[in-house]
Amino acid sequence: MRRRRLGIILRDLRIAARLTGEEVGQRVERSASWVSRVEHGRVGLRSRDLHDLLDALEVTSEETREALTQLARESKQRGWWNRYGQTITGPYASFISFEHEATGLLCYETIVVNGLLQTEAYARALNDRATSVQVSEDADRQVQIKLNRQQRLTGEHPPELWVILDEAVLRRPFGGPSVMRDQLLHLATTADEMPHVSIQVLPHRQAIFPGMIASFTLMEFPAPDTSIVFSEGLTGAVHGEAEEAARCTIIFNELRAAALSKRDSIRELREAAQMMGEQ
């Protein structure tokens, strides 16, 4: 996945330089198809190949060149999620690997609590409801994967996490009132005690506008990296296009402005937890 990130950056640099893949290929004595495979993260890059590409793209910033060289070097490393190879596949594998590298995560959730903030009981309840037929061993792996993902929030250099929850998320009691009560209290405590985690609630009274009908996560990376958007769905999809990331940034800022303040959101979470406890 680091190869894919590197490819996205190289593609954006090529577009900024107003060059086609064929033109870049000619400059480095490679085919246009090879350039395409590099930009899609399908092939690894040796240091010499990368430097030739950066020369062709007229990238002179030493800081940028060093950052990309480091990214190419790290692309040979394997992440913790590789040991779950049969469970983490396709778009979910892409999502986890990008999430692990991101320095900032902007998340909008319309149905369930974000995976980085789920309690174990809530995660298990969600997993039980995800399909009518579920193998117990696979269910345990799915929950453990979420718990492993959450370790980033308490480790060194955690990402800045900003989550906006539609109010419907608070009212949907996965696992029953008791499980949901503990989940809501966990959200309130996390937002109150972790300075790098912000949670806002988008109340029902807000009118619907474009962007409110689908969950998404916008992942931010240090320069010269670009932002990446993950759109929720039955299969999910990762979008590296700068235009898509820019559009989702605008939508997220609109949602952030429409949602309750962080302090009022914590109060709303605690009140919702109290209501769950009374059921």
Domains of the chain: 2-74 (1.10.260.40), 89-277 (3.30.870)
**Least confidently predicted of 180-184, 218-222, 248-252:** 218-222
- pLDDT higher for 83 or 108? 108
Provide the CA 126 distance to its chain's centre, in angstroms: 19
Q: Strand, helix or coil at 201?
A: strand
Q: What are phi and psi of 108, to 5 degrees?
A: -120, 125
Q: What are phi and psi of 163, to 5 degrees?
A: -120, 130
pLDDT digits (tens, 9 = 90+) for 198-240: 999 999 887 666 656 688 999 988 766 668 888 754 444 556 5
C-alpha distances (whole Å) from 188 to each of 100, 173, 224, 257, 274 are 24, 16, 35, 20, 12
Q: How far apart are alpha carbons 157 and 176 in whole angstroms? A: 35
Instruction: Tell me what percent of the residues of the chain surpass a pLDDT of 70.
Output: 82
Q: How far apart are alpha carbons 265 and 215 in whole angstroms? A: 19
Q: How far apart are alpha carbons 115 and 98 in whole angstroms? A: 14
**Least confidently predicted of 76-85, 100-109, 261-270:** 76-85
Q: How far apart are alpha carbons 88 and 145 in whole angstroms? A: 9
**Dihedral, 51, 98, 106, 149 alpha carbons, nearest 10:** -140
Q: If you average pLDDT over every residue of the chain, what do you get? A: 84
Q: Beta strand pairing status for 228-231 and 216-220?
A: antiparallel
**pLDDT (average), residues 21-32:** 91
Does residue 253 carry a pLDDT above 60? yes
**Least confidently predicted of 146-160, 171-185, 227-241:** 227-241
User: Which pLDDT score, from 0 to 100, does residue 133 have?
Assistant: 45
- How many residues would you count in the chain? 279
Whose structure tokens read 């990331």?
245
User: Which pLDDT score, from 0 to 100, does residue 83 have?
Assistant: 64
Number of Cβ within 10 Å of residue 99's Cβ equals: 21
- Asked if the peptide bond before residue 224 counts as cis, ω within 30 degrees of 0, the response is yes
Number of Cβ within 10 Å of residue 156's Cβ equals: 5
Which of the four pLDDT bands, split at 50, 70 and 90, describes residue 130?
low
User: Which pLDDT score, from 0 to 100, does residue 235 have?
Assistant: 45
Does residue 132 carry a pLDDT above 60? no
- Residue 54: which residues within 8 A CB-CB, separation 6 or more? 13, 64, 65, 68
User: Which pLDDT score, from 0 to 100, does residue 191 have?
Assistant: 97
**pLDDT (average), residues 123-128:** 87
User: Which pLDDT score, from 0 to 100, does residue 94 have?
Assistant: 72
User: Which among 103, 102, 77, 92 is positioned nearest to 3, based on CA atoms?
Assistant: 77
Instruction: Tell me what percent of the residues of the chain surpass a pLDDT of 90.
Output: 43
Q: How far apart are alpha carbons 129 and 123 in whole angstroms? A: 10
- Residue 275: which residues within 8 A CB-CB, separation 6 or more? none
Does residue 131 carry a pLDDT above 60? no
Q: Beta strand pairing status for 216-220 and 160-166?
A: unpaired
Does residue 20 carry a pLDDT above 50? yes
User: Which pLDDT score, from 0 to 100, does residue 40 have?
Assistant: 82
Does residue 274 carry a pLDDT above 50? yes
Q: How far apart are alpha carbons 155 and 152 in whole angstroms? A: 5
